[in-house]
Structure 1
Amino acid sequence: MNVNDLQKFVEAISIEYFGKPFKHHARFNSRLQTTGGRYLLKSHDIELNPKYYIERGEEELVGIIKHELCHYHLHIEGKGYQHRDKDFRDLLKKVDAPRFCKPLDSVKKRKVMTQHLYECNACQQRYVRKRKVDTNRYVCGKCSGKLIHLK
């Protein structure tokens, strides 16, 4: 799906579900990582994550577009367009749009964190850290002994 196809697709969804035209731009933004799309307040444009279209298909993309169009139309009308607003939640139910999108499989895989285990030479105090610690610079917080990287 190219930019022109996406623009026409968003305009068609806007007319079909909201009965109002979408007069701004819709585009893919591959830099989006954890969200399916976003509505830009200043320009009124909608950016969509192409990974959702690739991994989950057109049905998921329609849900994301409906969600972003809820933000768009409510903001244009001067109503509550934020997630916590009643107007927003009511419009989501009316057009059957998801409140949140499902996480991508590719993002789930990346969330596995490596853990580093350190032990003090003197008192055997153990420390678990997400990041590596410079054992030449840092010492045990309990007894000031030397730390050894175990794992």
Structure 2
Amino acid sequence: MNEQELQQLVEHISITVFRKPFRHCATFNRRLRTAGGRYHLNSHNLDFNPLVLELHGPDELEKVVKHELCHYHLHLDGRGYQHRDADFRRLLKESGGSRFVKDLRQVGEVAPPKWLYGCSACGQMYPRKRRINLKKYVCGKCKGKLRLKIE
């Protein structure tokens, strides 16, 4: 799917589902990492992550388009357009959009844990990405003292 087809898809969904025209630009943005799409408050343009289409197909992309169009139409109408607003949640449910996008990370993309802690009493291991305060935390299994393990 190219950007022109994406623009047509967004305009079509806007007219058929929301019964309002979409008068701005819809583009693919490869810099989006975990989000499926983005609504720009100032320009009213929409960005979509092409990985949604590549990994999960056109049905999931359609749900993301509906989600972003909920932000778009509610903001232009002067109603609650944020995720926490009742207007947004109601319109999202009515339109059939997805609340969250499916996982977009590639296999092996998750960073391995940097720190490894172990309990001195029971030997339970705790891999962590960030350092923890050993004076503040204890083992969740036996309440023993934690120690930094050196690999």
Contact 2:53 2:60 in 1 (8 A): yes
Q: TM-score, normalised by structure 2?
A: 0.76
Q: TM-score, normalised by structure 1?
A: 0.76
* Secondary structure, aligned partner of 1:94: helix
**Alpha-carbon displacement from aligned partner over 1:107-138 (angstroms, at most 9, x marks no partner):** x63224233459xxxxxxxx97647xxxxxxx
Contact 2:17 2:95 in 1 (8 A): yes
Gaps of at least 5 residues in structure 2 are: 118-125, 136-147
Partner of 1:111: 110
Query: Separation in 1 of the partners of 2:44 and 2:56?
Result: 26
Identity %: 51
Runs of at least 4 residues off by over 4 Å: none
Opposite residue 33 of structure 2, the aligned amino acid is Q
* Secondary structure, aligned partner of 1:109: coil
| Equivalences, count | 131
Query: Separation in 2 of the partners of 1:102 and 1:129?
Result: 24
Opposite residue 74 of structure 1, the aligned amino acid is L
Gaps of at least 5 residues in structure 1 are: 119-126, 132-140, 142-147
**2:3 is equivalent to residue 3 of structure 1:** yes
Query: Separation in 1 of the partners of 2:81 and 2:128?
Result: 40
Task: Provide the aligned C-alpha RMSD in A.
Answer: 2.6
**Alpha-carbon displacement from aligned partner over 1:8-64 (angstroms, at most 9, x marks no partner):** 110001011000100000000000001100100000000000011001000000000
